[in-house]
Amino acid sequence: MPRYQAPLRDMRFLLNDVLKVDTYSNLPGFSDAPPDVVDAILDSGAKFASEVLQPLNAVGDRQGCTRNPDASVKTPDGFPDAYRQMVEGGWIAISGDPEYGGQGLPRIISMAFNEMCSSANMAFAMYPGLTHGAYSAIHVGGSDEQKRTYLPKLCTGEWSGTMNLTEPQCGTDLGLIKTKAVPQADGTYKITGQKIWISGGEQDLAPNIIQLVLARIEGAPEGVKGISLFIVPKYLVNADGSLGARNAFECGGLEEKMGIHGNATCVMNYDGATGYLVGEPHKGMRTMFVMMNEARLGVGMQGLAQAEVSYQNAADFARERVQGRSITGAKAPDKPADPIIVHPDVRRMLMDMKSFTEGARAFTYWLALQGDLMHVSPDEITRTRADDRMALLTPVVKGYLTDKGFRSASDALQLHGGAGYTREQGVEQFVRDARIAMIYEGTNGIQALDLVGRKLASNGGRAVFQVFTDMEEFCSAHEASEDMKPFVAGLQTAEAQLKEATMWLMQNGMSNFDNAGASSHDYLHLFGLAMLALMWARMADAALQKRATGDSFYEDKLLTARYFFDRVLPDAASHLAKVKTGAAPVMALKADAF
């Protein structure tokens, strides 16, 4: 059976030594999170994740969810109780708005907690994750009354929330939505239509489920400019906050999937259900994007989270399984064979995974910190830069971390040999679960297109030039240090490659959009590598400053940084070459030649 121990040491290193969260202690939220409080939260969060959620991970995979004849849905054994503990422990409300019962702590703290939950049990962690998304959408776009009615219960997770976007004829292209909303005399709407792939659309964890539904008001313009957002609660809420009538929708079926079996993926049939418009008519996409951007950062984190738990189990297996002898001579002559961790190719896989997860964690937490700063910093320039970084890099985190997270999980399976392919060992579940993260909340192809087609050129490229400045400033500040030389040199290479690709796109992507589209995947990966290079350079700097403590953690961090620059970053050259070939070879064949 797989195990999971939260990587608390690494989390603390990031928060304290790399991101230096204590330097923001003057800001709202951060002032409530001194190091000892953060430590206590992480400690008990880690305990909750490994003792409550992780043991339910394999159970959830095997049992899956069941739709009962009355259209109710049963989640796997143990899920309702674990969810209750999560709500009662106040975990869902960590970084919620104190006005609605949240604890108001920085998002970077809830990100760390969410990573633990997602490593321990991804299918489970999706339920509170989507609830938080619904909370954010209403928080951003809802009326005061809607906020008062729904936010306190969504903030704590007492009620759960979902997002209803997809329909059979539209996934990526939401302009094709057919679900209709008919205005009623009382100001409400009647919602009718079918939504599919609704994660947690129906379940037995919470007494009320607040559906956020995209629909088209009768007579609305065609395409995405005619889409409105509605709150459609499972039970209507009475004026006193108690639950009233059952709304007119139900779960029409569950999807059978490759993984995340513990999460109910529902077909939702709305049959004149009562809905409440969020914000203005026809402008639902705007609010939905707020929600989606937050969710995309969370999905990137899921890639990291599955990589982390896969890595931990692979490392255990590599130390315990004895098989063959080291090619440089027996290392455990007292045993019938050496542990397989002596083999260089096993090390290669472990180092690939380790350098990815630690770099990806730094990237994710750093971006979550930008998410905090863009809201709470008193300094306008800081807020703008944070906002720019968030917008530009969200598709990079989502696309790069989920692609590589899946790869890491698959490498962990590989390291186990035949055992990895058996259900009993448990690591193949990580591969199946991790696979969805490359698809949902916008496929990684959509992330890449968002990056090159929208984010890159936004404000005249201000955000990407800020990234170059971030990298250059770091290099200037550290190039005098002998110890930092290999890391600064590596980062300079990465920045030059990223800049070359960016310039190529600016010159060629505008004149022929297909050039941008054809290069988008490789550009996103190149960007991901360059950001991890920045993160590894920053981590190396932090580790060097602490190296004198003699704690081997810092030396190991430096060695892992070296591995990243020597053995991972070379992929950037290949991505750059592919970016620069443009669309011609990609688009040459006729559609019927495939």
Span of 139-147, 211-219, 252-260, 373-381 interacting with its own copies by CB under 8 A = 252-260
**Would you give the binding string for its own copies spanning residues 227-246, x where CB under 8 A is met?**
--------------------
Largest CA distance in the chain: 84
Does 251 bind its own copies (CB under 8 A)? Our answer is no
Q: Does 337 bind its own copies (CB under 8 A)?
A: yes
DSSP per-residue codes, 472-486 = HHHHHHHTT-TTTHH
Answer yes or no whether residue 571 interacts with its own copies by CB under 8 A: yes
Sign of the C-alpha dihedral computed for residues 72, 76, 78 and 80 taken in this order: negative
Provide the H-helix boundaries in 509-551. 513-546
DSSP 158: S
Residue 559 tokens read as 């060695």
- Our finding on whether 559 is near its own copies (CB under 8 A) is yes
Q: Name which of 477 and 510 has its Cβ closer to its own copies.
A: 510
Q: Which residue among 6, 214, 448, 451 contacts its own copies (CB under 8 A)?
A: 448
Minimal distance in Å, beta carbon 586 to its own copies? Answer: 5
The DSSP output letter for 586 is: H
Applying CB under 8 A, the site for its own copies has a residue count of: 96
Question: Would you say 134 or 568 has its CB closer to its own copies?
Answer: 568
Q: Nearest approach, Cβ of 498 to its own copies (angstroms)?
A: 16
Residues 533-552 that bind its own copies (CB under 8 A): 552
Quick check: 207 and 243 in contact, CB under 8 A? yes
Q: Does 494 bind its own copies (CB under 8 A)?
A: no
CA dihedral 126, 132, 134, 135 (to 10 degrees): 160
Q: 209-217 and 180-183 as β-strands: parallel, antiparallel, unpaired?
A: parallel
Contact call for residue 485 and its own copies (CB under 8 A) = no
- Which one among 48, 127, 150, 197 touches its own copies, defined by CB under 8 A? 197
Q: Which of 123, 350, 360, 505 binds its own copies (CB under 8 A)?
A: 350
Secondary structure of 338-386 in the HEC alphabet? CEHHHCHHHHHHHHHHHHHHHHHHHHHHHHHHHHHHHHHCCCHHHHHHH
Both tokens assigned to 248: 């007119």
Least Å distance, CB 254 to its own copies, is 11
380 is catalytic: no
Number of alpha carbons in the 13 Å side-chain half-sphere of residue 346: 23
Query: Within positions 162 to 181, which residues make up the interface with its own copies, using CB under 8 A?
Result: 166, 169-173, 175-176
Question: In angstroms, what is the C-alpha Rg of the chain?
Answer: 24
CB of 349 to its own copies, least distance (A): 8
593 sits near its own copies (criterion: CB under 8 A): yes
Q: Closest distance between its own copies and the C-beta of residue 265, in Å? A: 8
Among 3, 246, 324, 458, binds its own copies (CB under 8 A): 324
Q: Residue 195: in which H helix or E strand, if any?
A: strand 189-199
Q: Which of 35, 221, 241, 570 binds its own copies (CB under 8 A)?
A: 570
**Taking contact as CB under 8 A, which single stretch among the options 148-156, 385-393, 530-538, 580-588 is the one that binds its own copies?**
580-588
Catalytic residue among 441, 472, 495, 555: 441
DSSP of 274-311, one letter per residue?
Answer: EEEEESSTTBHHHHHHHHHHHHHHHHHHHHHHHHHHHH
- Binding its own copies (rule: CB under 8 A), the pick from 70, 256, 380, 482 is 256
Q: Which residue bears the tokens 């009382």?
A: 186
440 binds its own copies (CB under 8 A): yes
Site for its own copies in 450-469 (CB under 8 A): 453
Give me the residue label for tokens 């330097």: 23
- Which range binds its own copies by CB under 8 A, 52-60, 126-134, 337-345, 361-369? 337-345
Q: Are 128 and 120 in contact (CB under 8 A)?
A: no
Q: Write the interaction track for its own copies spanning residues 353-392; mark x where CB under 8 A is met and - where it is not.
A: -x--------------------------------------
**253 is a contact residue toward its own copies (CB under 8 A):** no
What is the identity of the amino acid at 304?
A: L
Phi, psi torsion values for 509, nearest 5 degrees: -80, -25
Give the span between the Cα atoms of 26 and 93, in whole angstroms.
22
Q: Does the protein bind its own copies through residue 496 (CB under 8 A)?
A: no
> In angstroms, what CA-CA distances link 110 with 86, 121, 335?
13, 16, 45
Give the single-character DSSP code of 322. Answer: B
* Residue 482 touching its own copies (CB under 8 A): no
99/173 with CB nearer its own copies: 173
Out of 19, 373, 516, 531, the residue judged to bind its own copies by CB under 8 A: 516
Residues forming the active site: 441
